[in-house]
Each structure stands twice: as C-alpha cells, then as structure tokens.
C-alpha cells in the first residue's frame, strides 16, 4: 500500500454554539428561566431588564465606569491611532440608534399580562420543621443511658434510614462502631441499647423489617381482642397475610370472616413507614408552576404562555452611548478600540440571547397550539378516553420542528386546565387498532381497564385472562400479555392481591 497525502472534500453538519444554547433554553422550565436569564445578565453587562422608570439605567454601574475610564482621550502621540491601524476600521454605526429600533430586539408581548405577584412568587418554599433524625436524637436523654451508651444510641440514630428502618444486622453495626467510632461493644450490650431506642417515638422505628415494625406498634396498643389477634397474625402468619391467603389464616386461627375483617382493619391502622411523615415534612415543598394556561371561553379554547416566559429584555442604552462617543471622537487610542471591540461582542451576544428567548417563546406556543388542536376533545371534556393517539412525529410534521426539538419543548413542561394541571408528555401515547379499524390511544385502553377493575367483585377479582375478555367485549382487541403490562403500569396488583373478604 502506497502512503501519501490526499485531499478530500466533504460536507459535515455541526451545531453552532448559539444553536446549542437555544436547545438548552428550550429545555429550561418556566420556574428556572428567570434564574437562567439572571446568569446571562451577570455574564453580559450589555444585557439588562427593561426598566420603564429609567431608560438609561444599567445593571452593572461598576462595569460601566470601568469601560468609561478606558475611553478617556489622551493627547500623547504614542497612544494616538487612526482608522487604519493594526486593529482595522472599527465600524460602530450598525450598533447605534437601537433605542429607536427597539421592537426588533424587544421581547415583551402585549398579549401576556405581567402579574407582579407571579413574578415575585418563589417556586420553592422551605420548611423549618424538625427532621426525623433530630426528633430521635432529642429523645436520647430521656432513656437514662450511661454516657458510653448514649454514644452508641446516637450512632444507631444516624444509621436509621428516612423510613425509620435499620437496614443492617447487629454484626455490621458492631464493626462500624469499632472501626469508625472506636467503640468496642459486645452483642448483649448492643442488643440492650437497641431495645431501649426502640422505646422512642414514633413506634416502629429501629425495626429491621416490616414484620418487626408492625409488632413494635402493636406492642404499644391496648391489649384488646383484635390487637391480640392481629399480633398473632403478624407473628405466625405474616407471609400468608402479605399474600392475602386469608382463608388459610381463618382456618388455622379458628375465626370467622367477620372477625378476620376486624383484624385486617386493625393491622391497616399501623404505619409501615414510621419515619415517612418526618421525611416528607423536612423536604422542600415544591410549588408546581405551569408553563401554559388553557381557558375555555364559551367553548373556545385559548392558550396563554406563563408571564415568566415573557421577560422584557434590552441591550443596554449606556453601552450604545459609549459607541456614539467613540464614533464622535477624532483621536482614538488602541485601548479605546479594544474596548469597542469588546462592547460590540457583548452587544451581539445580548441581541442573540434576546432573539433566542423570543424564539423559545414562539416554539413553545407553536408546539402547545398543535397539541391543543390534536387533543381538543380532551381539553373540552376532561375525559381521558378522548385522548387521541399522538407521538412526537405528529407534532414535528405539523410544526416543521425537528423531533428532538419537540422532545425538548415537552420535557418538564406543564399546562394548567380547568380539569387540573398536566405534564405535556401526558398527552403523548401510542395507538392500537379497534375491532372496527379505528385507532385509539393506549391511555383510553388503560382508563377502560381501570374502570373494569374498579367495578369488579373484590371477593372474586378478574384474572388477566378475564380482563382481556372484558376488553374484547368492549371492542379493544389486545393480547393478555399487553393487558398485564398495562395493569402493571397502572400499579394495579394481580387478582390474588386485589382480593378482599
């Protein structure tokens, strides 16, 4: 094989940095858009929010003063340069007069009313309630343990997960105490401390498994007949109870079905996750902020974009004034020209960002309008059985956007309707053929399936085979394995676990 140099001509498609940034902007949900704009404003002093009370105000006065210092004209021959120096002729005329032509870069749309309360409302509210582990730790002093035992109790508190369980055996806990805490303790002593911390509130904490958790809670209840029977069921027939083999329990314990119902009701009062309530209250409470609002006005559907998606941005007027001063200056230094080139770059970046925000708004509205037209029956009725089969390609074909663009638009976006707030992805589903040949959404099939299961006799719930037959009778010709898949997606257990006495 002869080695040599060759020239090949080829075409490749590459995304520009601006295109990449636009795609990232499309993915940003409304709640995070303001933060993204603030970051851009901090990085680019030529970009600012429009303030109607002060047209010439900049967001970064310190930066403005520093730039103005660079424009101080000095009469030294060394600093003097003309328009034909090494920097080339810097033309700033295209950057002037922006104030008169502001609509080209102004993003605000009068059709979106700005709500001051909406602009100030934080998307997340943080709670200051005591956490689950803090609650447990505050009870250690009440156990009247020795100082060394309190250290072990604190270690056990730190080892409990958010649900209230200890997921490790005693030997592993002893090893950790020895290697990490330098505490050597024998097994009986650790078991003693373990029994003491299990006296803490909430009942059931520090259990190794669900069975022990339920028994710890039953132990603290008043010893009524139902509580004693429930304790016996959990101790001796936990496996049968979890699998709902109630007839076996009834036969073994020599009780009737009515008494078994009372025992089941007693067990269902227990909390399988004793730390769950604390874990939820210690987390930030997130407020869902819809990206679109859909209103029904006498049968006419109207879609509006959240006001937070329509910020009023502009190119800084003071930076344009600097360029005007530069153009009127006869003697221009090299430092001045460098500063002008920097300003031009920042203004170009600010213009592009404003246009990108505008393009983001238009893309969101076009996509949502297409979804609205395709799913109009659902938005008018709120009936999930009216959702039509719809995939990303359907939106892409009607809007002209690439499928990847549509995917970015609908990701983590929400629409508020009179029937509730929905993720845009909720309206996308595959379709199946009815016996009559029509296409229906899989969401419609799932809704019908839910209705069949809800109306079944809980003493004799339908098997997947019977569910398949019931769907066929309604015209939905699907396989049993598909029915099983839909049932699992709906988090509905098998027939045996749906059975009730």
Per-residue pLDDT tens over the stretch 111-140? 333 443 433 334 444 344 568 888 899 999
Domain at 431-498, CATH class: mainly alpha
SS3 176: helix
3-state class of 58 per DSSP? coil
Residue carrying structure tokens 């509210």: 125
pLDDT score of 235 more than 90: yes
Pair 484, 438: CB distance under 8 Å: no
Helix pair 403-410, 334-374: axis angle to 10 deg:
80
pLDDT in tens, 206-218: 999 999 999 999 9
Please tell me the least confidently modeled range out of 273-282, 452-461, 489-498.
273-282
Tell me, what's the pLDDT at 267? Answer: 92
Helix (H) or strand (E) holding 302: strand 300-305
Query: Per residue in 249-265, is it b (16+ CB within 10 Å) or e — as a string?
Result: bbeeeeeeeeebeebbe
What mean pLDDT value characterizes the chain? 78
- For 313, phi then psi, to 5°, come to -115, 155
SS (H, E, C) 340-384: HHHHHHHHHHHHHHHHHHHHHHHHHHHHHHHHHHHCHHHHHHCCH
Band (260; pLDDT cuts 50, 70, 90): very high
pLDDT value at residue 489: 87
Q: Over pLDDT 70: what percentage of the chain? A: 77
Ranking 45-54, 129-138, 448-457 by mean pLDDT, the lowest is 45-54
Q: Which pLDDT value is given to residue 214?
A: 94
- Structure confidence at residue 338 (pLDDT): 79
Q: What is the pLDDT of residue 64?
A: 44
**Domains of the chain, residue spans:** 16-50+78-126+287-384+412-426, 132-226+266-278, 431-498
Residue 306: partners with Cβ closer than 8 Å, 6 or more residues away: 30, 118, 289, 290, 291, 292, 293
Selected residue with higher pLDDT from 304 and 88: 304
Which of 22-31, 325-334, 400-409 has maximum average pLDDT?
A: 400-409
pLDDT of residue 62: 41
Q: How far is C-alpha 401 from the geometric centre of its chain's CA atoms?
A: 24
Distance between CA atoms of residues 162 and 273, nearest Å:
9
Please, which residues have CB within 8 angstroms of residue 67's CB and are 6 or more apart in sequence?
A: 319, 322, 339, 343
Q: Count Cβ atoms below 10 Å from residue 443 Cβ, excluding itself.
A: 23
Q: How confident is the model at residue 501 (pLDDT cuts 50, 70, 90)?
A: confident
Residues 6 or more apart whose Cβ sits within 8 Å of residue 489: 446
CA dist 250 and 260 (Å) reads: 7
**pLDDT digit string, tens, across residues 21-33:** 677 788 787 778 8
Distance CA 307, CA 116 (A): 10
Q: What is the pLDDT of residues 179-193, one digit of tens each?
A: 888 888 899 999 999
Neighbours of 119 (CB within 10 A): 11
Number of Cα atoms under 13 Å in the Cβ half of residue 465: 0
Closest Cα partner for 24 from 408, 382, 309, 475? Answer: 408
């Amino acid at each position: 094989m002869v080695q040599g140099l060759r020239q090949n001509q080829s075409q490749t498609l590459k995304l520009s940095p601006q295109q990449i940034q636009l795609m990232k902007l499309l993915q940003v949900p409304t709640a995070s858009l303001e933060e993204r704009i603030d970051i851009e404003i901090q990085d680019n002093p030529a970009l600012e929010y429009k303030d109607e009370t002060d047209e010439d105000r900049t967001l970064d006065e310190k930066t403005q003063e520093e730039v103005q210092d660079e424009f101080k004209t000095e009469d030294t021959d060394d600093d003097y340069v003309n328009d034909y120096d090494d920097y080339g002729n810097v033309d700033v005329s295209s950057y002037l007069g922006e104030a008169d032509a502001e609509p080209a870069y102004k993003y605000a749309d009068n059709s979106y009313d700005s709500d001051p309360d909406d602009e100030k409302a934080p998307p997340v509210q943080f709670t200051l309630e005591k956490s689950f582990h803090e609650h447990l730790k505050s009870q250690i002093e009440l156990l009247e343990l020795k100082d060394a035992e309190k250290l072990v109790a604190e270690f056990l508190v730190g080892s409990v997960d958010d649900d209230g369980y200890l997921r490790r055996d005693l030997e592993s806990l002893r090893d950790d105490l020895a290697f990490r805490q330098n505490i050597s303790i024998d097994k009986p002593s650790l078991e003693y401390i373990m029994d003491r911390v299990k006296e803490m509130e909430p009942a059931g904490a520090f259990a190794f498994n669900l069975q022990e958790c339920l028994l710890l809670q039953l132990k603290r209840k008043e010893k009524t007949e139902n509580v004693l029977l429930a304790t016996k069921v959990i101790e001796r027939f936990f496996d049968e109870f979890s699998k709902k083999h109630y007839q076996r329990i009834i036969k073994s314990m020599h009780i009737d079905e009515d008494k078994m119902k009372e025992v089941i009701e007693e067990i269902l009062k227990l909390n399988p996750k004793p730390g769950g309530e604390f874990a939820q209250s210690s987390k930030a409470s997130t407020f869902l902020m819809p990206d679109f609002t859909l209103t029904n006005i006498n049968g006419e559907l109207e879609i509006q974009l959240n006001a937070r998606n329509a910020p009023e941005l502009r190119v800084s007027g003071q930076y344009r004034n600097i360029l005007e001063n530069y153009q009127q200056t006869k003697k221009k230094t090299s430092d001045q020209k460098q500063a002008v080139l920097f300003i031009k770059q920042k203004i170009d970046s600010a213009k592009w960002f404003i246009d990108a925000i505008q393009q983001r708004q238009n893309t969101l509205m076009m996509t949502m309008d297409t979804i609205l037209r395709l799913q109009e029956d659902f938005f008018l009725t709120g009936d999930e059985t009216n959702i039509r089969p719809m995939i990303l390609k359907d939106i892409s074909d009607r809007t002209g956007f690439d499928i990847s663009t549509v995917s970015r638009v609908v990701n983590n976006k929400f629409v508020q309707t009179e029937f509730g707030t929905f993720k845009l992805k909720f309206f996308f589903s595959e379709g199946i053929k009815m016996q009559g040949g029509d296409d229906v959404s899989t969401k419609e099939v799932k809704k019908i399936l839910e209705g069949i299961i809800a109306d079944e006799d809980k003493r004799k719930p339908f098997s997947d085979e019977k569910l398949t037959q019931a769907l066929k009778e309604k015209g939905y010709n699907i396989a049993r394995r598909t029915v099983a898949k839909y049932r699992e997606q709906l988090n509905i257990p098998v027939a045996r676990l749906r059975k009730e006495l």
